A and B are shown apart, each in its own frame.
Chain A
Amino acid sequence: MNLEDTFIIDGTPIPFEPSQTVLQAALKAGVFIPHLCFYPGLRPNGSCKLCTVIINGRHTSACTALARSGIEVENNTPELNDKRRLMLQMLFVEGNHFCPGCEKSGNCQLQALAYELEMMTPHFSHFFPSRKIDASHPEAFLDMNRCIACGLCVQASCEVDKKNIFALSGRGMASHIVINTPSGKLGDSSFALSDKAANVCPVGAILPKRHGFALPIGQRLYDTLPISSQTEFLTTRKA
């Protein structure tokens, strides 16, 4: 292995290609770094902060940090995992996440990370926000209770689908997704299930209608294999 083209994660040399980020190179090499707002083929967003690592002593997001030869990355440490668990708990209490009644359960990246990081409880007092469900589209629905404001649908719709259907509006805790139609309804947009934006949501905020609970428990994506063992899927998945 050419040391010029490697960097170190928790003591393990990781090969990388020019312009790859630390997260991309790590996943490619089979080293898992928790993440929610990164999707292969889309620009890193850097907002969920689950992929926070320590590079040469500095906390930074692995999804936006370019891989450079010789850098030392701390990733799977109790300190970082504790912080990631705190952020997961923040996301769980910020929205309304009721796994037993969610069609995405078993295939949900937020849930999978909570399993991975052994989040036994959401810990903080729940916000129980009042959020909307948009069922106006014939083939898909939008459940804002589950939205974590990762911005993936916004980017996919704008840059891949060229439809610019979603936007992130508001500020602070009031940040929310809005739909680019005069009515603000998804049903009045050109959104289609074949859109990239329909398939990148890490949680169950954008889901197809009439396909809920299709796979029995035991056969779903994260039922038997932890997300940390599915790095190949995470790098190759295409929506």
Chain B
Amino acid sequence: MLSPQEPPKRKLRVATASLSGCFGCHMSLLDLDENLLDLIELVEFDRSPITDIKHCGTCDIGLIEGGVCNSENVHVLREFRNNCRTLIALGACAVNGGLPTLRNGLDVREVLREVYFEMPGVVSNTIPNDVELPLLLDKVRPINEVVRVDYFIPGCPPSRDAIFKFLTDLIAGRTPRLDYPHMRFD
């Protein structure tokens, strides 16, 4: 029988992605420093900017940074939901849309017109419309408004300690919980 301290034999597979975020949450993840070595004893990474794997296979845990701002975000988020047993919203933008939602009071058409026609120094007279480009949604949404989400880690970004506490709780089979100093919305 395993003792609680002993890591499980099979490493848990973790995937991460940044949707409409700033990669700050991923930076916070990297900021685990030497704790990354502890973490890597417990998990292996699937799709993630860390591994550069482009698509997500079956995973135990999915971490999503950033809100949902365009069609590509929707596809990535659906891929995660369909492949990850546990899906976690990592950071303010995934939890409530974050600062990108400041554009929600504006019409997308106006935003694009302003950016590609009216900004000082802009010389183009067209809005890029290559089929490779994902389309913007009319509003930026938190990820739980698009798919079902299991856990939320707030913070902008969540601190390294918050991430470590949450993940180690989860991996050890405890109910993940942030203690007061790590419970932050900013």
Binding site for B on A (CB under 8 A): 92, 96-102, 105-106, 111, 114-115, 118, 120-123, 125-126, 128, 130-131, 217, 223-224, 226
CB distance from B143 to the nearest CB of A (A): 10
Contacts of A105 on B, CB cut-off 8 Å? Answer: 185-186
Nearest chain A CB to B159 CB, angstrom units: 10
Greatest chain B CB density within 10 A among A105, A106, A128 is at A128
Within the complex, the shortest CB–CB distance from A96 to chain B, in Å, comes to: 7
Chain A residues within an 8 Å CB radius of B89 = 121
CB under 8 Å from chain A, chain B span 123-157: 139, 141-142, 144-145, 149, 151-154, 156
Q: Chain B interface (Cβ within 8 Å of chain A)?
A: 89, 92, 95-99, 101-102, 104-105, 139, 141-142, 144-145, 149, 151-154, 156, 177-178, 180-181, 183-186
In angstroms, Cα B145 to Cα A111, docked, is 22
A115: contacting residue among B102, B145, B180, CB under 8 A:
B180
- With most chain B CB atoms within 10 A of its CB, the pick from A102, A115, A131 is A115
Main secondary structure on A side of the interface with B: loop
A217 touching B186 by the CB < 8 A rule? yes
- Whether B104 contacts A128 by the Cβ 8 Å rule is yes
- Contacts A99-B156, A100-B156, A106-B186 given; does A121 touch B95 at CB 8 Å: yes
Partner of A99, one of B92, B105, B151, B180: B92
Shortest CB-to-CB span from B157 to chain A, Å, is: 9
Q: Is the CB of B95 within 8 A of A111?
A: no
Assess whether B141 is in contact with A126, with CB atoms less than 8 Å apart: yes
Measured in the bound complex, the distance between the Cα atoms of B99 and A100 in whole Å is 8
Return the 8 tightest CB-CB contacts between A and B, nearest first.
A99-B185, A100-B156, A121-B152, A120-B152, A128-B104, A105-B186, A130-B105, A99-B186
Cα A99 to Cα B139 with chains together (Å):
19
Q: Is the CB of A98 within 8 A of B151?
A: no
Chain B residue contacts of A223, Cβ below 8 A: 181
Q: Nearest Cβ in chain A — how far from B162, in angstroms?
A: 11
**A to B CB contacts below 8 Å, 28 in the list:** A92-B96, A96-B101, A97-B96, A98-B92, A100-B98, A100-B99, A101-B102, A105-B185, A105-B186, A118-B183, A120-B95, A120-B153, A120-B154, A121-B89, A121-B95, A121-B152, A122-B96, A123-B144, A125-B145, A126-B96, A126-B97, A126-B145, A128-B105, A128-B139, A130-B105, A223-B181, A224-B180, A224-B181
